[in-house]
Chains A and B, each alone.
Chain A
């Protein structure tokens, strides 16, 4: 499904695979002793046969952030279509067929259409984006996503001047998604939305992979939204439809509990969830005696996005 493009590398640059493996092992062993017990060592194993190593970095990718061990990211996801339990989501999500995959782009656009994912990818440049990810449940991680700018995809469909909002819809497959089948808790399929300017912002991406590899199914394969200054639930997984709308869409969590989950869902330590504080977060992969991290407004992306919300009362538009 996904074209496995590798960058051309000069023969002289290629290290003999055996030597390479050996070298990695040594580095790994050294790292393991350095960071023993933190779980970081295991993440190094994942980059060995990655298909997208050495991608160019996205504009706001932050190289100084230490990615969370991949094993943790792969085994700690909320995927309520399958289960309410983070641990079981990994196993259950494997039953979702993701190949072939097509995405409908419609609504207030000049050229609506239904596209195969590989055709979409052929027109986009994949980049690596190392972003912070902060869940509304007050835990966070750092993920090196592989993806492309949402704005560049939307531009291809030529948005009309009447397009004010973007609505994203997740896959509906009750035969493999138990909570869809049993109509549990939320209204399925899962729907999320952004304002047009948020969607066009260069920070906003659609991701098809992470840690240099294709996206694991439990993390939203084959195509998911990543909006790093908004709580995790805005970052909708397994997208099948993108509609441009005049009016704001009704989004899943906002509909379920309007007082707890707003449409904007901007990360903001000063605006508590009605039942718990958002002032700090537990960083996954941090050691047993590392205290919580104090949450930053817009998850630290204020410089880039604060101007989108000038003159808005963030307490009211939470």
Chain B
């Protein structure tokens, strides 16, 4: 069992590195088209977004398939989202801008879509820092609350994607649909749970009401007494 798990682990790790390998090969063979730096940068962003989505897909998949083992891979996938976002950012700073900080500063101030990229990255960065078992233990209940920020990161990332578009809408619409499904699933679960707890209420309310009736009666009588 353990060895099987371990091989699956290594497969996930290798699979996560394949896009990078593919990009390196394409860069080396000048296969990235007329604007290779933009292509490299964009594709790293795309992969970060994909891993972010895969991370978010674990919970729904787990619920649907009843396979509990998947949660172990969530951390790995999330770290890959962080990894590709970091490369995306480094290519932007180092390769595209050659660390010309003045130009970078103007670019960031004037390009509103980058603000959403930075928001998404700050969150993913924080989540990556606190992704270890040790951090989870130390943060206790706050860990889960904090890691719910991944929803905001996903939404910020899709805004970041949409807002920089120059023409084609097909791909971002596809990604928006996925995020809609992934977040929609959670809303459904949440609604279901709420309904469930609401269903519980009538019973308890009866008890409460009965108790209140007595109180009301007594208060009324109190009032009467006062008058």
Q: Which residues of A contact B (CB under 8 A)?
A: 37, 39, 72-73, 75-76, 78, 80, 84-87, 136-137, 139, 185, 272, 274-280, 282, 284-285, 288-292, 294
Contacts and interface: CB of A to CB of B under 8 A. Distances in A.
A86 B97 contact: no
Contacts of B164: 275-276
Given A85-B168, A282-B96, A291-B98, A72 B34 contact: yes
B95 A289 contact: yes
Contacts of A282: 35, 37-38, 96
Nearest to B100: A291
Contact of A37 (B30, B98, B110): B30
Contact of B110 (A185, A277, A291): A277
A89 to B, nearest CB: 11
A33 to B, nearest CB: 16
Main secondary structure of the interface of A (DSSP, over half): loop
A37 to B, nearest CB: 7
B34 A275 contact: no
B98 A288 contact: no
B80 interface: no
Given A282-B35, A292-B103, 7 more contacts: A76-B33, A87-B33, A276-B110, A277-B111, A288-B27, A291-B98, A291-B99
B113 interface: yes
Interface of B: 27, 30, 33-38, 95-100, 103, 106-107, 109-113, 163-164, 166-168
Contacts of A72: 34
Contact of B167 (A37, A80, A280, A289): A80
A280 B107 contact: yes
B204 to A, nearest CB: 52
B48 to A, nearest CB: 19
B34 A86 contact: yes
Contacts of B110: 272, 276-279
B27 to A, nearest CB: 7
A284 B39 CA distance: 12
A275 B38 contact: no
Contacts of B166: 136-137
Contacts of B100: 291-292
B131 to A, nearest CB: 32
Contacts of A278: 110
Contacts of A275: 111-113, 163-164
A289 B98 contact: yes
Contacts of A73: 34
Contacts of A280: 97, 103, 106-107
Contact of B35 (A84, A136, A139, A274): A139
A279 B167 contact: no
A299 B111 CA distance: 20
A137 B97 CA distance: 16
A292 B97 contact: yes
B30 A39 contact: yes
A276 B167 contact: no
A276 B168 contact: no
Contacts of B34: 72-73, 75-76, 86, 284-285
Interface centre among A85, A285, A288 (most CB of B within 10 A): A288
B105 to A, nearest CB: 10
Nearest to B33: A87
29 contacts: A37-B30, A76-B33, A76-B34, A76-B35, A78-B167, A80-B167, A85-B168, A87-B33, A136-B166, A185-B167, A272-B110, A274-B112, A275-B111, A276-B111, A276-B112, A276-B113, A277-B110, A278-B110, A279-B106, A279-B110, A282-B37, A282-B38, A288-B37, A291-B97, A291-B99, A291-B100, A292-B100, A292-B103, A294-B103
Contacts of B109: 277
Closest 9 CB pairs of A and B: A291-B98, A76-B34, A277-B110, A84-B168, A272-B110, A72-B34, A84-B167, A276-B111, A279-B106
